[in-house]
Amino acid sequence: MAKLNEKRSLFLLSALVAVIALLAAQVKPAVAATVYTTEMETCVRGIVEKPEKRIDLPGLVRLLFHDGFVRGLDGSVLLTSTPFNTTNFATKANLAGPTEQGSPSNGGIRGLGMIDEIREALKLINVNASCADVVAFAAREATYVLSKTKIKYAIDGPGRLDGVFSMADEPGSNLPGPSFTYAQLLGNFTAKKFTATDLVALSGAHCIGDTHLLPFADRLNLALAVPPPGPNEINATYQGVIREEAALPGNMTRSFKNNIRDMGSTAVADSRYTVNEVDMTAPVDTLDNSFYNANLQNMVRFKSDWELRTNTFARGLMVTCTGTTPTSSSLTSRPP
């Protein structure tokens, strides 16, 4: 058991290292690679691990993904306006209008205040970090805290450059959407030099955080989706539970926990969720491999989550990572 858990942590770990390395590679470093010192780590973690911040920590992981996946890790998701709003620049015909934050893909974006707070705190220890640096540091420490210290990856120090472009139409054409097919998901990942293994690993982060109703409304069989989900795409018992939850007043503004484990013991029992090796005593928003166990039972929110079931390689990797049929072989394997 212990051995298995260790393997699983390592799986997520290596995937997150890959994200950081790839996203970092997409921007030219301002200076030679610098070191993320223990002092910086202590400073950033000191803020991120405060109990009152926990609610926003999944938002920090999402922020890294939503920033890096668009123009490389450049802080562009943080900008509310840019100097080029009204200027034609290079090949971009029209830069007027809102920034990435105005994209529907960035609905519910959070944790922005913590980025400022961390940057100020780093200044007090004489570290000038860019906004892009802080997005990377914050996500790293959020991952450490949410994984109960199991995921701790190496990261470069300050030196990333902040971008000055940010356009509301770009996240929508770069970030994978919640109703994408497997081929579309992989297409977007491949475009950013990620593999199918990375896709499965990073999807695992849907075990933390919240969603609004719209991204999964097509899964509720409310005549909203054309075509509606097929009988094998979502467990009917679970579907009934999340449909009931979604019918509560205020459903368009409230948020819903991504992970069935975080929906409460009644919802878990009513869905007839099979626990397998998932730690049901873990605090809300614990970053572990529970996503795979839920997905293999068709108990995940988004169609794009479920789509991982349709590919033999992706499905096999999820089976390995739930421990229901433990084999170590596919942990390091790459798709053909």
Ligand X SMILES: *[C@@H]1O[C@H](CO)[C@@H](O)[C@H](O)[C@H]1NC(C)=O
Q: How far apart are CA 322 and CA 139, in angstroms?
A: 24
Q: How far apart are CA 256 and CA 142, in angstroms?
A: 20
For residues 225 and 78, the answer to whether their CB atoms sit within 8 Å is no
Query: Is 74 among the annotated ligand-binding positions?
Result: yes
Per DSSP, the chain holds a count of helices (H) and strands (E) of 14, 2
Residue carrying the six token digits 């990333």: 160
88 binds ligand X (CB under 6 A): no
Q: How far apart are CA 137 and CA 321, in angstroms?
A: 27
For residues 290 and 203, the answer to whether their CB atoms sit within 8 Å is no
Query: Is 145 among the annotated ligand-binding positions?
Result: no
Query: Is 29 among the annotated ligand-binding positions?
Result: no
230 secondary structure, DSSP code = P
Q: How far apart are CA 191 and CA 202, in angstroms?
A: 15
Residue from 26, 98, 270, 277 binding ligand X (CB under 6 A): 98
Among candidate residues 53, 66, 71, 119, the one labeled active-site is 66
Q: Site mask, ligand X, residues 127-166, x = CB under 6 A?
A: -x--------------------------------------
Q: What per-residue string of b and e applies to 6-15 under the rule 16 or more CB within 10 Å gives b?
A: ebbbebbbbb
Two tokens at 129? Answer: 């970090």
Of the two residues 149 and 274, which places its CB atom closer to ligand X in the complex?
A: 274
Residue from 272, 310, 332, 333 binding ligand X (CB under 6 A): 272
- Tell me how far CA of residue 13 lies from CA of 190, 204, 205, 288, in angstroms: 20, 11, 11, 10
Query: Is 212 among the annotated ligand-binding positions?
Result: no
Query: Is 270 among the annotated ligand-binding positions?
Result: yes
Stretch that binds ligand X, among 12-20, 25-33, 246-254, 305-313 (CB under 6 A): 246-254
Query: Is 176 among the annotated ligand-binding positions?
Result: yes
Residue from 37, 42, 88, 173 binding ligand X (CB under 6 A): 173
Shortest distance in whole angstroms from residue 180 CB to ligand X:
6
Residue from 5, 14, 34, 174 binding ligand X (CB under 6 A): 174
- Tell me how far CA of residue 182 lies from CA of 129, 228, 244, in angstroms: 37, 17, 28
CB atoms within 10 A of CB 236: 10
Residue from 21, 29, 37, 86 binding ligand X (CB under 6 A): 86
Shortest distance in whole angstroms from residue 207 CB to ligand X:
18
Of the two residues 85 and 332, which places its CB atom closer to ligand X in the complex?
A: 85
257: β partners: 210
Of the two residues 230 and 336, which places its CB atom closer to ligand X in the complex?
A: 230
Residue from 235, 258, 304, 311 binding ligand X (CB under 6 A): 235
94 binds ligand X (CB under 6 A): no
280 binds ligand X (CB under 6 A): no
149 secondary structure, DSSP code = T
The helix/strand/coil state of 105 is: helix
Q: How far apart are CA 323 and CA 252, in angstroms?
A: 36
- Total chain residues near ligand X (CB under 6 A): 27
Catalytic: 212? no
Residues in the annotated binding site for Ca(2+): 67, 70, 72, 74, 76, 262, 270
Residues in the annotated binding site: 67, 70, 72, 74, 76, 176, 206, 262, 270
User: Which residues of this chain interact with ligand X, rule CB under 6 A?
Assistant: 81, 85-86, 97-98, 126, 128, 173-174, 184, 187-188, 191, 213, 217, 220, 222, 235-237, 246-247, 249, 251, 272, 274, 297
Active site residues: 66
